[in-house]
Structure 1
Amino acid sequence: MNSAAMYPTATAPPANMFNTVPGYEGTVSGGGGYLPPPMPAEPVAPPQPGPVPDNWTIPSLEEDVAREAFKSFASSHCCYSKAPATDGVITNMEPFNTFRYRLETFTESRSTEWAHKPHEGEPADFYTQTAPRPWEVPATAPELFTNHTQKIRVPYPSSVKDCHDCHSSGKAPCTECHGDGYKACWVCNGAGTKNDMNCSTCNGTGRDNCRECDGQGTKKCKTCDGKRQLLTFIELKVEWTNHVDDHVVEQSSGLKVGDLHSVSGKELFKNNNYLLYPLIGFPNAAIAESSERLIREHQSKYSPNSRILQQRQKVELIPITKVNYKWKGDTHVYYIYGNEHQVSSDNYPATCCCVIQ
């Protein structure tokens, strides 16, 4: 009988035992799931007044700054000739500054699942004390608005059991030789002879010892690391997630709104609190409406399965300049946007095909 037959494949048993742990009934077996947080407190701060920026204007872009930004843009593309950026003549520059509202909602969510590890002598603590409920387990939160995941072994519901994969033998069949301990000789392909003579590599047996398992047919069980037993426990996964949504006020420059996601603008207003109120009295109606809509959507979307720890909202004035220029008698357009002076030119007039060897 080969080793594969001696160590049949098994699956992990259901974690029904954990369904009796107070606070975990029905949350662990079957993969668990996100656990509703305790009832959140209502915001107590009164609505804040609308933002009143000191200065709403952004200085007009200088022509030499626009030209240098275009040159850098052309240089960063291997298939772009520098001639349009170097020799083109700017004929007109139009500002199309726009507002962006950004809402961030920082949440903590918790989920549980059945887990195990090789038993290394740890004492089983099942029922020695009452296990803390999922939202009572201490966890170290990261800096606000920073994504992070932490896995914690819940104290007091752990137990020791025989390894289900190797049936407490500590061994598993070698996957390289399928538990036989040998493989066909690579020289004679298992025939035992080569050129009408006994194969000198395998001495005519047609077999080579499996190097992966040293001919044993078995290897150390990976599930229990050869320890034969497992420590089973409830694993709590704590996830901190920063959910971000933007709304950019429509502008008529022709620049794609998606281009603005990667740039910053002039900050006009920012505040954060446990739960935010929508902006009140903001001069641009589209920003006030997006604030109310996104705050409502975030609280509706994230409150049922996570705890909202903090919210932050910001309004920026993003600079956009449409630059018209002439090159070789034709008129062309490019855009400069954001504090970073990013450039967009969908129809750059001098490109070639680059082949990388």
Structure 2
Amino acid sequence: MSEKQPLLSGPPYPGNPQGQPQYPGTQGQPPYPYPSAQGQQPYPPAQGQQPYPPAQGQQPYPPAQGQQPYSPPSGQSPYPAAGGATPGYQSGYPAATSGNHVDTPTWQGEVPDDDPDENPNVQPPSATAPPLEKMDQFSGYENMEGTPLQPPPSYNEALHSQPPQSQDMATRVPVVSEEQARNALLDHVSQNCCFGSKPANELIFTNILPSSAFHYSLESYTEKRSTKWAYEPYHGQVIDGSFNGVAPSPWDIEARPPALFQSHTVNMEVPHTASVKPCHDCIGLGRKRCYNCHGRGRTRCHSCHGHGHSTHYINGHHERRHCHFCHGHGRKRCFVCNGHGHTACHTCNARGQLKCFIRLTIEWIVHHDDHVVERTSLPDELIRTVSGETVFKQELPRVWPINHFPDVNINEASKNLVQRHLTGFQAERIIMQRHKVRVIPVANIHCHWNNNSFSYFVYGFEHKVHAPDYPQQCCCGCTLL
């Protein structure tokens, strides 16, 4: 046989006037008709025929006129086993496990004129989604691109409630003493290897200026929903289709978050939207042309480049030796399909059918904004990381802006952030909101050491220290005592 001649030049399986591949029948039976054979409509059934799934005692798909229905060979299942290895059909369907080698490929279809080069790094094709134009139509699910759905108008009674009464927001905070300020600095120095401890031990305090920083925070817990077509191999699972009723709208499906103010995502099948369709990737066959050998069942040896031999220079002259990888043939059996020329379809997992349904994705999201009021040179981000006294806290479906805090900057920040959250998440439904105000003590310590004046900050209930001007610090790994 010439290398340029296709491996399979014989006629296709009998009973197919269009030359398309079919599943061969058992001995003495005509083959099962190809789904697109002339005059046959397995999907959906022709008028007067039973739809899928079949009633008890009926065949799953009506055969063509004058033909017997397809039945699997004796002792074999009509579908491959779920999970793990896929048993082969008697027609030469390759098993997923090693073995079951053949020398003559069984793929009946288009193949290249020459054996392709062997590619040890070849990757199987990824599964593909069915085309949207072949999916069923459901009212309320016209946008199926996975974009967020617009929520329904809010019906929360909290929007019509009265603002809460004013609360006492006293801003009393503890004052840092000299002993506490020195101990805080010593602890800070011990955590920095490049800081010397001598200034912290010998410094003289000149002034301690106490102040308070205010930290306002607002959290909105929202729900976002999106829909998208999904699919999975059909292996006999229950189908909840439109025959069970009308599909509910996306926002009518009840779902509750596991806990408030915790991000979470769930996926669920929309009721009454499932259906069984033939796999678009393999046209319902359950198998496809091998992606490595392209149906020829063999590949060109990558060691000898298809020559069957290699030339070696030994003792001053050239010697030709048989390639030990292909045993001198120049070709090797395809390691992907074991020589069959076709592999299991990755989209339907060799089932030939897909369960298609609408998948609803629900996301619970926590949106957080805050504002810090701090009038010293202490960086604002440091205020967010320490604890303080919570003087105001409120949790409602819709919070009202704070308007009675002693510092007008907090009142203004609360008004702006609340308005931003009410209008900033148009594609999400607000479930709950909460906001609070914390007062963080800040002490600006002025001191003197070795004819040098410097200052540092002690802030938070943890007595954290910020001392960028500490007089004895080094970044060269020196040991300072």
Cα distance in 1 between the residues matched to 2:463 and 2:275? 60
Higher helix residue share? 1
Match for residue 147 of structure 1 among 247, 255, 263: 263
**For residues 14-47 of structure 1, what are the alpha-carbon distances to aligned partners after superposition, in whole Å with 9 as ceiling and x for unaligned?**
15644x31222x222x344323224333424321
Task: Give the structure with higher Rg (CA).
Answer: 2
Cα distance in 2 between the residues matched to 1:202 and 1:70? 76
Q: Secondary structure at the match of 2:409?
A: helix
**For residues 157-214 of structure 1, what are the alpha-carbon distances to aligned partners after superposition, in whole Å with 9 as ceiling and x for unaligned?**
1111122233333345666667765566565465533322112232123455555554
Match for residue 285 of structure 1 among 405, 408, 428: 408
- How is 1:218-297 mapped onto 2 (pairs within 5 angstroms)? 218-249=342-373, 251-297=374-420
- Asked whether 1:313 is paired with 2:432, we answer no
Gaps of 5+ in 1: none
| Length-normalised TM-score, structure 1 | 0.82
Q: Answer yes or no: is the 8 Å Cα contact 2:146–2:226 preserved in 1.
A: no
**For residues 79-107 of structure 1, what are the alpha-carbon distances to aligned partners after superposition, in whole Å with 9 as ceiling and x for unaligned?**
x3454776573634433321111111111
| Length-normalised TM-score, structure 2 | 0.63
Gaps of 5+ in 2: 1-5, 8-106, 112-123, 313-319
C-alpha RMSD of matched pairs (Å): 3.4
Greater alpha carbon shift after TM alignment, 280-289 vs 324-333? 324-333
- How is 1:82-231 mapped onto 2 (pairs within 5 angstroms)? 82-83=196-197, 89=203, 91=205, 92-128=207-243, 129-172=245-288, 185=301, 187-188=303-304, 191-194=307-310, 195=312, 196-209=320-333, 211=335, 213-214=337-338, 216=340, 218-231=342-355
Greater alpha carbon shift after TM alignment, 181-190 vs 275-284? 181-190
Q: Answer yes or no: is the 8 Å Cα contact 2:443–2:459 preserved in 1.
A: yes
Greater alpha carbon shift after TM alignment, 334-343 vs 179-188? 179-188
Greater alpha carbon shift after TM alignment, 132-141 vs 9-18? 9-18
Cα distance in 1 between the residues matched to 2:266 and 2:229? 16
Match of 2:130 in 1: 12
Q: Answer yes or no: is the 8 Å Cα contact 2:186–2:201 preserved in 1.
A: no
Aligned-pair CA distance for 1:124: 3.4
Q: Relative contact order: is structure 1 or structure 2 higher (C-alpha 8 Å, sep ≥ 6)?
A: 1
Using a 3 Å threshold, how does the CA distance of structure 1 residues 156 and 95 change in structure 2: closer, same or farther? same
Q: How many percent of aligned residue pairs carry the same amino acid?
A: 35
Q: Secondary structure at the match of 1:311?
A: strand
Match for residue 322 of structure 1 among 444, 449, 467: 444
- Asked whether 1:300 is paired with 2:400, we answer no
Which residue identity lines up with residue 140 of structure 1 in the other structure? R
